[in-house]
Amino acid sequence: MRDPHDAGAATDRPRVRESYRLRTDAQLLAADGGLALRQTRFRLPLDNLGVGGRALVLRLAERWVDDLELHRLVSGLEGEGQVLRAQVLLRRLVAHSWLRRRLTVADRVLLDVVPRGLGAGSAPVSRRHDPATTYRLSRFATLCPGDDGLTARTPLGRTVLDRLDPALVTLLGLAARGVTPTDAATALDVDEQTAGRVLDELLTAGILGTAAERAEEETDPRLAYWATEELAVHDRSRPGGHVAPVGATYPFRDTFAPAPLRRVFPGVRTVPLAVPDMELAAKRDDPLTEVVRARRSVREHDDANPLTVDQLAEFLYRVQHTMHLGEAAGQQVGRRPYPTAGSLCELEIYPVVTRCAGLAAGLYHYDAVGHRLELLAERAVVGSKLVEYARSAGAMSTPPQVLLVVTARLERLKWKYEGLAYPLLLKDAGVLTGLMYLVATAMGLAPCALGAGHSAAFADLAGVDPLVEPSVADFLLGSCRAGTAADGSGSREGRA
């Protein structure tokens, strides 16, 4: 940590000043006659502070404090001899990431440095710029609205830069091609020493890097394979690199009512489905080991003998039928043939039928609680962009008899879980897809999962808001031609 009064000493420009404040997600508590800091599951007792140290901690919880104010506060209460002890306390809190830091010039805030982690070893290793080096923006860096202005971050960094000065945002734009310390001073309208301080923070946070480091993000396999958005979602959903809340925190409990378990479309025509005889199915099915061994992706359907409505009904019942179990923490929960996060049963299945004996072509929703189909669109699915995309993705010569579009009612998960709702629904979708393969194989049907489906076409056809209920998985189902059933002969393995 530097003396905040040394930068800019050789110029007439205002000096850069560094100040400190308790991080916004932490609390200062009274504990057993003393003080303690708490951030979710972390707690730091502050023992033997003394009068000056206690006053400093109380001040840090209320407002920004620089070294000059620390000196005045402590020396006024305890004398000059205790200032060093207070400075050690301040730096200990910084090193353990309990404080955020702010760089200002006169009354102009350049940026806030916000730690992502907490505790010993959480602070990053400080980097210093080279006046002769050109620096570039990391491809993993993102800008988004923060508490008060824009925030710059990267999943690979240990700090987040918040409340960015508008000129600093312009500098980051220039850094996409490369900036020198002189360029930074010009863009920020500050002296080069102050610009250097800002560059140091950008380098330490991983927002900027050298040209070689930027090239490494594209050429080093451990970095090159990651897309920016994928790394951000992975980082946010896994604790360890940060201390943001992850798990069942119920972040919207006091904001919105929870969405019900059952998804229904009022006013549409419904098709009741026969309830399969599961005892008979258990006797008919091969043993699980044989079903697993026989599982294949089958991309050819027998349109002369298409899937029947009773087969579709049995399949849907065996993979998705839902029983309402009651409530947990004010939210309706249920039980399905596969495990779901929190028993929330957020996934929905929409059969897109082009050819099914006993069932008209159209787009349906499967009411998994009532075991029935709800007709959302008639015949428009035949030749539609949705079906044609699925046919092409499945490498099929003819349209699939049934395309099963799986959506996620994201609000069901978001109401309970913070930080990992989207990864949870993808895990649930994977479990459902695996079950679909096994059930279809046991029934002698032709299954094939797709890597992706046409989300926009589905949303338009179904009239479903893709932000409320995005489609997250797609599965082709049909009847098998002779020689492509349980033994998988004539089938092609893998996903499109």
What are 27-36's pLDDT values in tens digits? 999 977 789 9
Average pLDDT estimate for 269-295:
96
Q: Is the pLDDT of residue 285 over 60?
A: yes
- pLDDT score of 267: 95
For the chain, what percentages of helix, strand and coil (3-state, to nearest 5) are there?
35, 25, 40
Residue 486 in this model has a pLDDT that exceeds 70: no
Q: What pLDDT digit, counting tens, does each position of 108-117 carry?
A: 999 999 999 9
CB 381 within 8 A of CB 461: yes
Q: Which amino acid is at 73?
A: L
Q: Mean pLDDT across the stretch 88-97?
A: 96
Average pLDDT for 334-353? 97
CB neighbours of 66 closer than 8 A, spacing ≥ 6? 4, 17, 18, 19, 20
Q: Which of 33-47, 349-363, 389-403, 420-434 is the least confident region? A: 33-47
Q: Is 212 exposed, middle or buried (0-12, 13-18, 19+ CB in 10 A)?
A: exposed
What are the structure tokens assigned to 424, written together? 């949870």
Mean pLDDT of all residues belonging to the chain: 93
Amino acid identity at 416? K
Comparing C-alpha atoms, which of 488, 373, 361, 380 is closest to residue 437?
488
Structure tokens at 334: 């249920």
Residue 97, by phi and psi: left (phi above 0), alpha (psi -120 to 50) or beta? left
- For the cut 90, the answer to whether the pLDDT of residue 179 exceeds it is yes
Alpha helices in 277-360 (DSSP H): 278-284, 288-294, 309-320
Q: How confident is the model at residue 48 (pLDDT cuts 50, 70, 90)?
A: confident
Give the global pTM.
Answer: 0.88
Write the Ramachandran bin of 180: left for phi over 0, alpha for psi from -120 to 50, otherwise beta. Answer: beta
Percent of the chain with pLDDT over 70: 95
Compute the average pLDDT of residues 155-162: 96
What's the rounded mean pLDDT across residues 82-95?
Answer: 96
| Beta bridge partners of residue 418, listed in sequence order | 247
Q: What is the pLDDT of residue 10?
A: 46
Instruction: State how far the Cα of 363 lies from the Cα of 360, in Å rounded to an integer.
Output: 9
The dihedral built from the CA positions of residue 245, 246, 250 and 252, taken in this order, carries a sign that is positive
Count of residues making up the chain = 496
Q: Is the pLDDT of residue 301 over 50?
A: yes
Provide CB contacts within 8 A for 62, sequence distance 6+.
none
Distance of CA 461 to the CA centre of its chain: 27
Written as one letter, the residue type at 70 is L
Give the span between the Cα atoms of 329 and 395, in whole angstroms.
46
- What value does the mean pLDDT take over residues 256-279? 96
Q: Say whether pLDDT at 9 is over 70.
A: no
What pLDDT, in 10s, does the model give residues 219-241? 999 999 999 999 999 999 998 88
Band of pLDDT at residue 485, cut at 50, 70 and 90? low
The beta strand positions in 368-428, using DSSP E, are 372-378, 402-408, 417-418
pLDDT of residue 487: 39
pLDDT band, residue 4 (cuts 50/70/90): very low
Residues 6+ positions from 257 with CB-CB distance below 8 Å: none
The partner residues of 144 in beta bridges, in order of sequence, read 151
Distance from the first to the final alpha carbon of the chain? 54
What is the band of 12 on the pLDDT scale with cuts at 50, 70, 90?
low
For position 371, what pLDDT does the model report?
Answer: 97
Q: DSSP 3-state assignment of 283? A: helix
Mean pLDDT of 438-442: 98
Query: Using alpha carbons only, what angle is made at residue 433 by residues 398 and 277, rounded to the nearest 5 degrees?
Result: 90
Q: Which residues pair with 352 in a beta bridge?
A: 363, 403
State the DSSP H helix or E strand holding residue 83, giving kind and residue range, or none if neither.
helix 83-95
pLDDT at 91 over 80: yes
Residue 217 confidence (pLDDT): 97
Instruction: State residue 495's pLDDT score.
Output: 35
Q: How does residue 433 score in pLDDT terms, banded at 50, 70 and 90?
A: very high
Calculate mean pLDDT across residues 468-495. Answer: 72
> What average pLDDT does range 405-433 have in this prediction?
97
Contacts of 93 (CB under 8 A, 6+ apart): 20, 60, 99
pLDDT per residue over 117-156, tens digit each? Answer: 999 999 999 999 999 999 999 999 999 998 788 999 999 9
State the pairing for strand pair 247-248/208-210. Answer: unpaired
pLDDT at 274: 96
Helix then strand count (H, E) for the chain reads 16, 23
Residue ranges of alpha helices (H) inside 287-384 are: 288-294, 309-320
Q: Radius of gyration of the chain from Cα atoms? A: 30
Residue 494's pLDDT band (cuts 50, 70, 90): very low
In the block, tokens 């991080």 appear at 23
3-state secondary structure of 248: strand
Over residues 279-299, mean pLDDT: 96
Of 437, 461, 438, which is closest to residue 450 (Cα–Cα)?
A: 437
HSE-up (13 A, CA, CB side) for residue 478 = 30
Pair type for strands 362-367 and 347-353 = antiparallel
Q: Examine the pLDDT at 266 and tell me if it is beyond 90.
A: yes
8: pLDDT strictly greater than 50: no
Residue with tokens 């080096």: 133
